[in-house]
Amino acid sequence: MNQEPRTSRVSENTEPPSRGPQLSEQVAQRLSDAIQAGEWSRGARLPTEAALGERFGISRSVVREAISMLRNGGLVTSRRGSGSFVAEAPTVSLRLAIPDPDLQSVVEVLELRRPLEVEAARLAAERRTPSQLRRIRNAMADIDEAVEAGLSGVDQDLAFHRAIAEAANNSHFTAVLDFYNRFLHQAIRVTRTNESLRDTFMQQVVAEHQAILDAIATGDAEAAARAAATHLEHAETRLRQAPTDLLERVEAQRGPASVSSTESTGGNSR
């Protein structure tokens, strides 16, 4: 019947939905534009799905898909029985593709992380609470424990660094570092698995961690920053010393259907 609403229906607001990309995408874009143009202010209720469907000359399904996109984008929230509302605090999002990790992209990420971790260590030395200091100590002990148990200790290593970031008492540091951790997780796993076979490397790592911890414990901000900088420079060096191993492992993972031993998806975070 109205399989051709684009010709028969007169939408009171805009031209008929043109052929092109996804219809629901167009609608989502137009809604987004309308919201950001201030047609509805923060926290205000949007028209009902039925009303929006009539306004744009489309079915409720498409309206729902469009609103679903905006909801995923953090621009609106919906409450069953009540309606959909413009979000009180719209969000921006930063996205990072996770390709098959190559040395180059890992190095670039580390380059960004270094100043962040250094600053986090500095702030942690100034601001850490006693309980946060305890947590850092425990995390460091966990690394030893894991390594002695024959594990790679990667998760524990990341937890150590995360505990420091938390002690900086600025949530943006943990947020950004967590964000890039998801990228680094796999690469670090490969490298450290390799490292863990070499005792000298592990001894270095332990000593460097200890230096950071000591500086944070005594509240020496500059020493903490220096120790962190040293640690991260050495980490990059260690990474570069095993490039062939890294690439081989990555290569090997691409072939088969990737049984992907990670299985840590829900592991450390959830």
Partner DNA sequence: TTTAACATCTTGTCTGACAAATTCGGAGCA
Partner DNA sequence: TGCTCCGAATTTGTCAGACAAGATGTTAAA
151-210 residues near its own copies, rule: CB under 8 A: 170-173, 175-176, 179, 182-183
Supply the minimum distance, in Å, between the C-beta of residue 82 and DNA. Answer: 4
Looking up tokens 């962040």 gives 116
Q: Which does 5 bind (CB under 5 to 8 A by kind): its own copies, DNA, none?
A: DNA
Please give the Cα distance from 43 to 87 (Å, whole number): 6
Q: Which does 241 bind (CB under 5 to 8 A by kind): its own copies, DNA, none?
A: none
Contact pick of 1, 7, 81, 89 for its own copies (by CB under 8 A) = 89
| Angle, alpha carbons 88-94-100 (nearest 5°) | 150
Asked whether the beta carbons of 125 and 220 are under 8 A apart, the reply is yes
Supply the minimum distance, in Å, between the C-beta of residue 143 and its own copies. Answer: 24
Structure letter (DSSP) for residue 45: B
Contact pick of 4, 12, 15, 88 for its own copies (by CB under 8 A) = 88
DSSP, collapsed to helix, strand or coil, labels residue 17 as: coil
Going by C-alpha positions, the residue among 58, 64, 158, 56 that lies closest to residue 113 is 158
Contact pick of 5, 9, 16, 29 for its own copies (by CB under 8 A) = 29
Asked whether the beta carbons of 74 and 90 are under 8 A apart, the reply is yes
Please give the Cα distance from 3 to 5 (Å, whole number): 6
- Interface with its own copies, residue 77, by CB under 8 A: no
Residues that bind its own copies (CB under 8 A): 28-29, 32-33, 36-42, 61, 64-65, 68-70, 72-75, 88-99, 108-109, 111-112, 114-116, 118-119, 123, 170-173, 175-176, 179, 182-183, 256-267, 270
